Structures are given as C-alpha cells and as structure tokens.
Amino acid sequence: MMDSDFKVVIASDVELLEELYAELQYKQEAVVVITQEEGFESLDVELWPRRDAKPWKFKLKDFEQAMEMAKKRLWEFRRNSE
C-alpha cells in the first residue's frame, strides 16, 4: 500500500505541454513530474527540489509504489481521454 503522504495529480498545461502529465506530491509538495510528450513508452521524469532546499527522505518502497501509481493513473487518464 502506498504511503498516504504521497499523492498523484494528473493535469495538463496547454501552454507548455501537449499531453497530460502526472505530478507526484509528498506532503503536498511536488517531488516529481512525469511527462509523456514523446509517447507513453518514453516517459520523462523531472525531479523537483524541496521548497526548503533540504533533501527528500522517504522509504524506497513507498517511492517506487507512488511512481508506479503515478504511471498507472497517467495511463488511465490517457486512455479515457482518447
């Protein structure tokens, strides 16, 4: 089960990206943005720094589960918008 401090937000920004993107948040702060501008099989990841400039720290298994959930949700929204 994914750590409840992680949250996945699916969004779009028509000024910057043509496709939907997934933002992975931890305690309401963006950690990672996953974009699919080159297709779903070629996802890109942007890591974001913390607002306070301290390093991120969480369990690897929780982060892996959250990343998988973000990818899954991105695929689900992509399929529903076609």
Instruction: Give the pTM.
Output: 0.84
Per-residue pLDDT of the chain (82 residues; tens, 9 = 90+): 666 899 999 998 767 777 889 999 999 999 999 998 888 889 999 999 999 999 999 999 999 999 999 999 998 887 665 5
Task: Identify whether 66 is part of a domain.
Answer: yes
Within a domain: 26: yes
In a domain, 12, yes or no: yes
* Other Cβ atoms closer than 10 A to 59: 9
> 13 in a domain, yes or no?
yes
Q: Specify whether the CB–CB gap between 21 and 32 falls below 8 A.
A: no
Residue 11: inside a domain, yes or no?
yes
Residue 15 lies inside a defined structural domain of this protein: yes
What is the domain range of residue 69?
6-81
How many distinct structural domains can be found in the chain? 1
**pLDDT of 80:** 63
With respect to residue 72, please indicate whether it lies within any of the assigned structural domains: yes
Q: What are 27's two structure tokens?
A: 């305690």
Residue 1 lies in a domain: no
